[in-house]
Amino acid sequence: MTSKKKEAVEEPLPKKEEAQKEPREHKEPVKAYFSKERVLTESSDNGREFYNQSRYGELLEDGRVQLSLIEALYLLEKKRLIAYDSRNKIIDFQSFLKKAQKVEPNFWIRYCVYRDIRNRGYIIKTALKFGADFRIYDRGVKPGEDHARWVVFPVHEGSTLTWYEFAAKNRVAHSTKKRLLIGIVDAENDVTYYEIKWLRP
């Protein structure tokens, strides 16, 4: 599906309002360790705040937080995380990105959408069990408090979808009672969202 941006289109996901500020960043970034397909933080109060405040990752019994590669890269870009490899060497943003791209297909396109959603002030989590890339919660809602409002599929503007694939994405959203968003990433890594709805003639 090839799509160009439309001007003056009301996006389904509004930008974060100026009045809504991010939680105050910690002075010391949290240490974390890259392990295969995930990242584990140190066991610390600052690390646990990733989960408690904004639902990054999963809180483990030993007090550490297990982050997905996309979550970890976002926190790394925000300078809220320092990542180390198995040899205890610091991994910078580009090196982390290369490692992640070897593990996950379409990683950069998915990351662009994840970053954009987080920057708008929404909590976004994976939605693999729903058959989608991500699920998005309304502002102020945390997973466990209420259901996600949207499922989103990130695609590059130059990619194509068959009608069968397009219909399958609609079925996923319809069966999970969520609204369907297609996040289209352009050559400048900007994201435009299109909400797809069922219509009954």
Q: How many CB atoms lie within 10 A of CB 104?
A: 15
Give the active site residues: 137, 147, 178
User: Phi then psi for 163, rounded to 5 degrees?
Assistant: -60, -35
Contact 113, 152 (CB under 8 A): yes
As a whole number of angstroms, the distance between CA 17 and CA 169 comes to 30
Q: 111 is written with which tokens?
A: 């990351």
Burial class for 151, CB neighbours closer than 10 Å (0-12, 13-18, 19+)? buried
The type of residue at 181 is L
Adjacent-strand bridge partners of 58: 66
Q: 56 is written with which tokens?
A: 């990054």
Closest to 139 (Cα-Cα) out of 22, 42, 3:
22
Our measurement of the distance from residue 138's CA atom to the centroid of its chain's CA atoms, rounded to an integer in Å, reads 14
Closest to 22 (Cα-Cα) out of 115, 107, 141, 119:
119
